[in-house]
Structure 1
Amino acid sequence: MSPAELAAWMRFERTHGVGPRTAPALLAAFGSPDAIFAADHALLAAHLSPAQVRAIRQPASADTLRLVDATLRWMEQPGHTVLALGQPGYPDLLAAIPDPPLLLYIKGCPDLLAGPALAIVGSRNASTQGKANALAFAEALSRAGLAIVSGLALGVDAAAHEGALKGAGSTVAVIGTGPDLVYPARNRALCERIAADGCIVSEYPVGTPPLPGNFPKRNRIISGLAAGVLVVEAAAQSGSLITARQAAEQGREVFAIPGSIHAALSKGCHLLIREGAKLVDGAGDVLEAMAWSPLAGRRPLPRLPAAEAEAEAVSSAEDDSLLAAIGHDPVEADTLLALVGGTPGELSTRLLLLELAGTVERLPGGQFQRIVRAE
């Protein structure tokens, strides 16, 4: 994109009164921002209100010109790209949603946006089991050739990106700040790895801070880039449910992992399943549903590779019996003591060893829950 083209696009995007519905209609009628700005009053009046016509005919503001200069400097760095709606390279799936971004600021490999993809989302305050599920599903599906799209948040998002980086499909992070910023700062190292081996996408220009309203808005891009959305863990009022419902409105597949009826972070997934989301308990379920999806490229995806060797199981019969007593729902230590016997001290030691082995999670309120690695 030339400096003049970028300036026209950024001026168009920042024109007062030209919103996400009006802008695509104008582009369809005139072809480009340059043509829109060059059109005479009568042609513009056929598509716009008088106030909108006046706004279109205003020259670019000083703030816009400064932003164009800053963006051009950002684009000089290796791996930095700006894609405009309707131009080569802009992802077809995203262009088809009702309100696609006019500009995408990209760090990394933009080719990932053209291939089959699955979004994985969930709670920022995910449980150990939830993060393990997100990582395992993402790794398996990435190895099968799907790019994994998520939002670079803590919890499920970060785990999904980590798992996806282990496979050929890699990962796409859709962020709610300008492309030159990292939020949350705790994910800086992960962000750098994604920029090197995956792709970071933002609709916000350089310098845009992490404003609260940006993150719900960017969720439509997460679902819009993917053929389906998998919700790993979500509370009943989670923002992940917004992403899932946007995905359904966009015609995407929606998947959810069920959990314990006693776990608050399973409530949102159960609600989605009642609303029609596909219940999945393994990555193979997702891949099977995605294999013939027209949004995944109208071709079968590769078969799911053999799972990685399972983590070492606790070998002793005593620990096996304790895991069986814990089951799959949260349980209190007193209940476990009644089931397996022994002294409180012995039980505490055995539970600690299982925690260290990564097979049991200690929950608030003195409860324990088994961690099962997703297949």
Structure 2
Amino acid sequence: MSADAEDLAGWIRLEQTPGVGPDTARKLLSAFGLPENIFKADYSALCKAVPERIAQALLASPSEQTAALIEKTCAWSEQPGNYVLTLADPGYPPDLLDIPDPPLILYVKGRLELLSRRAIAIVGSRNATVQGAANARQFADALSRAGFTIISGLALGIDAAAHQGVLQADGDSSSGSTIAVIGTGADIVYPARNRDLAHQIAKRGCIVSEYALGTPAIAANFPRRNRIISGLARGVLVVEAAAQSGSLITARMALEQGRDVFAIPGSIHSPLSKGCHLLIKQGAKLVESAGDILEELGQSPSAPHTTVSPDSDPHIASSSNHPLLDIMGFEPIDINFLAQHAQMNIGSLNAYLLTLELAGEIEMLPGGACRRLVAPRA
């Protein structure tokens, strides 16, 4: 085993030692320095830093499971485009070193240099509306063209749309790219529906995880990974979020880390606007365009970035002149109420609504309602 492999083995062994969580690991590193010094220490020295049971666990030989993980990780890190960074690595993202609980180990697949570039995180609901997903794509595209790397969590909904907004761009070298911070091992794609997206990100951006290879999707891991999403970014944009949402956890962590928080307002009738409105009430900056974010971060809104038009997003068709659209507006409207004001019978109205929905002009909502879509200004 090479010197680098032996060093990595020490970090993995420390993290996998029973009873050693993040806080205990940092305490040990503070007392002894590198992991190799921890495992060379005697029992009495260890007991000064940790309880006896943990000292005994540190002195025991690595389990077969840990030995297999070390072998697997070393082999994975030797593959092109795969990296394993520890807290002691000079390539460890400097922004993460500033947060209270930086990961001991980071597993990175893709473009490592993106971890040290200026970035904006875009997060939101997994059950995004069509309009919300369009907003995420367009803001991600515009901010990327302004030179920011876009960070999100590879989840369905807003996360996926934010990643797609960057990847659908023309690949201009002046643009940023995208980072997916995941809650599984870096060798696992979750959710499976985003497999193709994950492969694109690994090729054109990078995937980051703090969890050991082979770690499956465990619910508790996803809120914890949110501190990395916010920690790597200069600010966090929340696109859509319910009142009880994981995105609000990310926003709270961003504030605790001294990052800026931005939120896009929505309809007062939409449950997915409640979280954004709550954040705005608590001091998040209300944004209607990418220029609002750039200005807040000290970059002139006139800096090069995409001017968004309805034609710039393939998911939102260009505006038509159908008279129903003028009646609907952009707030949810009950179909029966719409039929009354349009003086149409329900059968004819539904036929027109289907045409408009297929054209990307409207969105059908639960409970017999619909609303007009608007191409967002990014």
Question: Scaled by the length of structure 2, what TM-score is found?
Answer: 0.91
Equivalent residue, structure 2, for 1:349: 351
Equivalent residue, structure 1, for 2:319: 314
SS in 2 for 1:204: coil
CA distance in 2, matches of 1:81, 1:302: 37
SS in 1 for 2:21: coil
Equivalent residue, structure 2, for 1:113: 115
Residue 14 of structure 1, aligned match among 9, 12, 16: 16
1:144/1:302 contact within 8 Å kept: no
- Within a 5 Å distance, the mapping from 1:256-271 to structure 2 comes to 256-271=263-278
CA distance in 2, matches of 1:120, 1:304: 20
Q: Which amino acid aligns with 1:92?
A: P
Residue 153 of structure 1, aligned match among 140, 155, 175: 155
Equivalent residue, structure 1, for 2:40: 38
CA distance in 2, matches of 1:276, 1:340: 41
Q: Which amino acid aligns with 1:78?
A: P
Equivalent residue, structure 2, for 1:296: none
Equivalent residue, structure 1, for 2:289: 282
CA apart distance, 1:78: 1.2
Cα deviations by residue, 1:267-287 (Å, 9 ceiling, x for unpaired): 111111112111111111112
CA distance in 2, matches of 1:305, 1:216: 32
Q: Which amino acid aligns with 2:248?
A: L
Cα deviations by residue, 1:254-303 (Å, 9 ceiling, x for unpaired): 111111111111111111111211111111111211236xxxxxxx7982
Pair 355,301 (structure 1): closer, same or farther in 2 beyond 3 Å: closer
**Unpaired stretches in structure 1, ≥5 consecutive residues:** 293-299
CA apart distance, 1:28: 3.5
Equivalent residue, structure 1, for 2:375: 373
Is 2:104 the partner of 1:102? yes
CA apart distance, 1:114: 0.3
Equivalent residue, structure 2, for 1:211: 218
CA apart distance, 1:39: 3.1
CA distance in 2, matches of 1:153, 1:193: 15
Q: How many residues align?
A: 365
Q: Which amino acid aligns with 1:246?
A: M
Deviation larger for 177-186 or 38-47:
38-47
**Unpaired stretches in structure 2, ≥5 consecutive residues:** 312-316
CA apart distance, 1:339: 2.6
SS in 2 for 1:2: helix
CA apart distance, 1:42: 5.0
Pair 261,304 (structure 1): closer, same or farther in 2 beyond 3 Å: farther
CA apart distance, 1:40: 4.0
Deviation larger for 30-39 or 188-197:
30-39
Equivalent residue, structure 2, for 1:139: 141
SS in 2 for 1:139: helix
Q: Aligned Cα RMSD in Å?
A: 2.0
CA distance in 2, matches of 1:269, 1:324: 27
SS in 2 for 1:119: strand
SS in 1 for 2:22: coil
